Amino acid sequence: MTNRKGTLIVLSGPSGTGKGTVLKHFFDNYADDAVKLSISATTRLPRDGETDGVNYFFVEKEKFENMVQNDMLLEWASFCGNCYGTPKAFVDENLENGCDVILEIEVQGALKVMEKRPDAAFVFIAPPSMQELKNRIVGRQTETADVIEKRMETAKWEVQNISKYTYAVVNDDADMAAKRLKTIIDAERLKVEKNNFANLNG
Amino acid sequence: MTNRKGTLIVLSGPSGTGKGTVLKHFFDNYADDAVKLSISATTRLPRDGETDGVNYFFVEKEKFENMVQNDMLLEWASFCGNCYGTPKAFVDENLENGCDVILEIEVQGALKVMEKRPDAAFVFIAPPSMQELKNRIVGRQTETADVIEKRMETAKWEVQNISKYTYAVVNDDADMAAKRLKTIIDAERLKVEKNNFANLNG
């Protein structure tokens, strides 16, 4: 089997559900060289230790607007006065090279990607329960009661969209969840449409 | 997560591709109690050591015809004067109980199941190459040149249908192939539609 096509894996879920930890376990323990994490473009300034092209593609506001106008972003959103988006070029180049690309984005962004890339694998990282999600957000002790309430409202809306996703991974244990993500990626690689069987039909 | 729905896994591929060996490795090394192998109904007589309800459901010709007329078979075919078919009841009862059911059938039968059960996972067990398939059939030393030629003609037609399948597993090594089958089943279990997330939307 040669000329494998990569899979776009869109990973999202409520804030506090542990997406980042799952991804860390995944890249530390289960990923091979053929899986890449998508790098977002942003208009915000680099923080200490952040490198352009590694953590983010840091771009000027004008450049970002240009990317939006020229349809160079798969999805984008603004947050706290800064813009964040997913450059298509990085995603498509990797897919064409046979690499899978993981996109970690908000549910709202994922819904937009569903329209543009229905062939992607959409993975919802779910909390074991809404109470457990609340416990985790409260446990951080960084948020006011108001913010917690607002987060839970958003989480409820996000969870209502779970049926639009292909797969759901319950994050009861981050390492187990990372392993399940690995299973999904391995199965996607076995899809007929991702492989070239010209050697059998020659 | 409770009330999981099972997945129907339809497994086929050319004769000589090693489906039986892959399934043996799978059930010996990778299957859990929630995966069942579908049992066919047949009009042929039991051979020594075969048990009704284990190897086959042995039925009279009249009973078989009745099952066909009452749409009780997912697919059926006749071979060497005997009829073979897949009873729907066994499949559906297991799926409803949250078990996955593997159906090992000919490509022709699988194409019929695609129409009736498009939500099943269709797995094509492929040879590494057509030459390797021929080597395996010749290696058995049980077939005449005529039969080998006919088998290869059928195999060519079967392989042309690979694009209709969901997944393809190349059987270069039976244990590796069994592991890939396990990956597919595990990923299907993570599909949102197979799980009940009512506890999150309550």
| The pLDDT value given to residue A2 | 47
In a domain, B170, yes or no: yes
So what's the ipTM on this one? 0.92
Contacts of A169 in chain B (CB under 8 A): 190
Q: Residue B160 — very low, low, confident or very high, per pLDDT cuts 50/70/90? A: very high
- In this structure, what is the dihedral angle of CA atoms A167, A172, A173, A176, given to the nearest 10 degrees? -30
Among B98, B100, B99, smallest CA distance to B10 is for B100
Give me the helices (H) in chain B, please: 19-25, 61-69, 88-96, 107-116, 130-139, 145-160, 174-189, 198-201
Cβ–Cβ under 8 Å, residues A13 and A124: yes
Pairing of strands B40-42, B56-58: parallel
* CATH number of the domain where residue A114 is located: 3.40.50.300
| 3-class SS of residue A99 | coil
| Structure tokens belonging to residue B84 | 């073979």
Q: Output phi, psi for B32, to 5 deg.
A: -110, 180
In a domain, A3, yes or no: no
Expressed as residue numbers, the domain containing B111 is 8-193
In a domain, A1, yes or no: no
| The pLDDT value given to residue A140 | 77
Task: Say if residue A159's pLDDT is above 90.
Answer: yes
Task: Say if residue A51's pLDDT is above 70.
Answer: yes
Tell me the percentage of chain A whose pLDDT exceeds 90. 86
Range with the poorest average pLDDT among A68-82, B9-23, B134-148: B134-148
State whether A191 and B166 contact (CB < 8 Å): yes
In a domain, A30, yes or no: yes
Q: Residue A199 — very low, low, confident or very high, per pLDDT cuts 50/70/90? A: confident
| The pLDDT value given to residue B19 | 94
In a domain, A59, yes or no: yes
* Minimal CA separation from B101 to chain A, in Å: 18
Could you list the beta-strand ranges (E) of A44-108.
56-58, 73-79, 82-87, 100-104
Q: Residue B202 — very low, low, confident or very high, per pLDDT cuts 50/70/90? A: low
Average confidence (pLDDT) over A30-56: 95
| Structure tokens belonging to residue B65 | 């015809």
Contacts of A9 in chain B (CB under 8 A): none
Q: What is the pLDDT of residues B14-73, one digit of tens each?
A: 988 999 999 999 999 999 999 999 999 999 999 999 999 999 999 999 999 999 999 999
Task: Say if residue A202's pLDDT is above 70.
Answer: no
The CA distance from B31 to B24, in Å, is 10
Structural domain count, chain B: 1
DSSP 8-state assignment for residue B164: G
Q: What is the pLDDT of residues A139-154, one digit of tens each?
A: 877 778 898 899 999 9
Q: What is the pLDDT of residues B74-107, one digit of tens each?
A: 999 988 889 999 999 999 999 999 999 999 999 9
| The pLDDT value given to residue A177 | 98
In a domain, B1, yes or no: no
In a domain, B200, yes or no: no
State whether A124 and B162 contact (CB < 8 Å): no
Chain B CA closest to residue A161:
B201
CA gyration radius, chain B? 18
* Minimal CA separation from B185 to chain A, in Å: 9
* Minimal CA separation from B68 to chain A, in Å: 32
Task: Say if residue B1's pLDDT is above 50.
Answer: no
In the sheet that B121-126 helps form, which strands lie side by side, from edge to edge?
B35-37, B100-104, B8-12, B121-126, B167-170
| The pLDDT value given to residue A201 | 82
| The pLDDT value given to residue A38 | 96
Average confidence (pLDDT) over A148-165: 94
In a domain, B2, yes or no: no
